[in-house]
């Protein structure tokens, strides 16, 4: 499924949004989930993740083929992701059982050479592919996988467009993330000074254009400015919120694709892709890790708010319709999404709709402050940021060692000119080490409001 940017007025109905009304339940296993960006996938080692708390392991064989298996050895339930990749097979670290591309067990060291490997010594395998630099996993039977359903973005492949990507793990459920990004009204308040301006907070004109089991399409615009341009904001079930804006006079197109998926209860992953065909030099010249600093801050400005929101709703133990006081001029998409879960989400392992919910337990509500460490939630997942972090840390340690050595030389030197030169150089090195420490901290600590 490739998504095109078009103005809301010109958007025709699509087959995706006009399935038979009898299909009133969303099948969460008959769709694709975005695991990570290809550039963030580690080389020569396994990559672990979860979907609705079910563990999976991802790796590549000698031919570069992507392989996805259940991350659980059938022998004694050890995590396969703790093991190593040997000749394109993943080996369990506990007893050395090895598994191939379809999850079949190919080697058990403890079996006699003439013994046959048990037929049930295998793990489930899952279809996984790469599209537009994103690794996608099909949650159901591999034979049923339909690659045309992957929600790719047509503009990303067009000449003149550039994009930047970022991966982040968040300590709350996917539905709260989707609700948050379907809410354009909060930007001017919560992101005042970064993305928005509180003086621009105003009523919005919001419309849901069409809705079905596959999601809904909407548009919104400001009400203060006459003839303000419409902006598109669509929810493509179950993972994508797509924001689109076009300035037709200049031929400028901007898109923000927010892919998310549920790692488990109170945990979700977000793959952010921002793309455009104007002011492209900034994206081309600026390092990816430097772009992520600002993007991380924006996400973290909402983090503690959403964590607290979810905890309070779980504590109350009420349906959202009994807690929320929504406005048509700000919350239309939020309520549409929660009602979409009411209509179509019954098969999901857990969800919080507007008038219904499933497997949402008050006892599991975490009332303690949530650690919002940037290193754990982003840096260690991002190839660009992690590599820069490691280089910065090594550089910092080298500078500290050099400063100590220079100070020692200054103490031993008899010549005053050598003393002055080494002390001056040592101070410069200390200053550089301090800058490196500040940069290192940016990769570790999340933004907090003061």
- Chain center to CA of 241: 12
Q: Which of 172, 119, 207, 384 is nearest to 299 (CA)?
A: 172
Per residue in 118-144, pLDDT (tens digit) is 999 999 999 999 999 999 999 999 999
Query: What is the CB neighbour count within 10 angstroms for residue 370?
Result: 17
pLDDT at 407: 87
Q: Is the pLDDT of residue 365 over 60?
A: no
Task: State residue 436's pLDDT score.
Answer: 96
pLDDT band at 418 (very low <50, low <70, confident <90, very high): confident
The per-residue pLDDT for range 178-227, each reduced to its tens digit, is: 999 999 999 999 999 998 999 999 999 999 999 999 999 999 999 998 88
For the segment 440-450, the average pLDDT, to the nearest whole number, is 89
Give the per-residue pLDDT at 74. 96
What's the 3-state SS for 80-95? HHHCEEECCEEECCCC
Angle at 196 between CA 237 and CA 36, to 5 degrees: 40
Residues 9-59 have pLDDT tens digits of 433 333 444 445 545 789 999 999 999 999 999 988 999 999 999 999 999
Nearest alpha carbon to residue 272 among 280, 281, 261, 264: 261
Name, of 7-16, 315-324, 416-425, the range with top average pLDDT.
Answer: 315-324
Whole-angstrom CA distances from 86 to 61, 69, 210, 245, 364 are 9, 16, 50, 48, 40
- Mean pLDDT of the 329-340 span: 98
pLDDT, tens digit (0-9, with 9 covering 90-100), for 66-93: 999 999 999 999 999 999 999 999 999 9
Nearest to 69 by CA among 83, 81, 78: 81
Closest residue by Cα to residue 171 from 449, 370, 443 = 370
Mean pLDDT (the chain, rounded): 91
pLDDT tens-digit profile of 148-167?
999 999 999 999 999 999 99
Task: Calculate what percentage of the chain has a pLDDT beyond 90.
Answer: 81
For residue 214, CA distances in Å to 158, 238, 270 come to 26, 8, 20
**What is the distance in angstroms between the CA of the first residue and the CA of the last residue of the chain?**
44
Mean pLDDT within 298-310: 94
Q: Which one is predicted more confidently, 450 or 397?
A: 397
**pLDDT reading at 7 higher than 60:** no
Give percent of the chain above pLDDT 70: 93
User: 99: burial class by Cβ within 10 Å (0-12, 13-18, 19+)?
Assistant: buried
């Amino acid at each position: 499924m490739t998504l095109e940017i078009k103005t809301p007025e010109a958007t025709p109905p699509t087959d995706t949004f006009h399935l038979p009304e009898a299909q009133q339940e969303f099948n969460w296993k008959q769709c694709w989930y975005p695991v990570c960006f290809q550039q963030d996938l580690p080389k020569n080692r396994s990559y672990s993740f979860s979907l609705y708390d079910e563990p999976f392991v991802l790796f590549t064989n000698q031919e570069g083929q992507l392989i996805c298996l259940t991350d659980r050895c059938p022998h004694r339930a050890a995590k396969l992701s703790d093991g190593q990749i040997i000749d394109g097979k993943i080996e369990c670290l506990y007893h050395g059982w090895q598994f191939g591309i379809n999850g079949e067990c190919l080697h058990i060291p403890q079996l006699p050479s003439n013994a046959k490997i048990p037929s049930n010594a295998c793990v489930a395998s899952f279809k996984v592919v790469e599209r537009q630099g994103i690794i996608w996993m099909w949650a159901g039977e591999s034979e049923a996988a339909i690659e045309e359903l992957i929600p790719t973005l047509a503009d990303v492949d067009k000449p003149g467009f550039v994009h930047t990507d970022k991966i982040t793990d968040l300590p709350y459920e996917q539905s709260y993330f989707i609700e948050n990004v379907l809410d354009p009204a909060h930007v001017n308040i919560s992101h005042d000074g970064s993305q928005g301006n509180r003086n621009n907070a105003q009523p919005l004109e919001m419309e849901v254009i069409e809705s079905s089991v596959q999601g809904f399409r909407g548009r919104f615009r400001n009400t203060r400015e006459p003839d303000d341009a419409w902006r598109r904001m669509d929810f493509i079930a179950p993972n994508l919120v797509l924001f689109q804006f076009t300035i037709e006079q200049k031929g400028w197109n901007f898109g923000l694709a927010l892919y998310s998926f549920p790692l488990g209860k109170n945990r979700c992953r977000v793959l952010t892709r921002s793309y455009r065909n104007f002011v492209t030099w900034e994206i081309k010249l600026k390092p990816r890790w430097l772009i992520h600093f600002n993007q991380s801050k924006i996400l973290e400005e909402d983090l503690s708010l959403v964590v607290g929101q979810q905890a309070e709703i779980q504590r109350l133990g009420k349906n959202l319709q009994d807690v929320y006081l929504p406005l048509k001029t700000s919350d239309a998409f939020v309520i549409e999404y929660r009602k979409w879960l009411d209509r179509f989400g019954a098969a999901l392992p857990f969800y919080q709709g507007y008038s219904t919910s499933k497997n949402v337990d008050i006892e599991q509500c975490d009332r303690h402050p949530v650690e919002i460490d940037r290193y754990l939630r982003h840096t260690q997942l991002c190839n660009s940021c992690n590599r820069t972090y490691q280089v910065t840390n090594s550089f910092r340690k080298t500078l500290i060692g050099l400063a100590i050595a220079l100070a020692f030389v200054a103490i031993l030197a008899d010549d005053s000119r050598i003393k002055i030169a080494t002390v001056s150089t040592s101070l410069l090195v200390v200053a550089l080490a301090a800058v490196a420490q500040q940069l290192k901290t940016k990769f570790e600590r999340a933004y907090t409001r003061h």
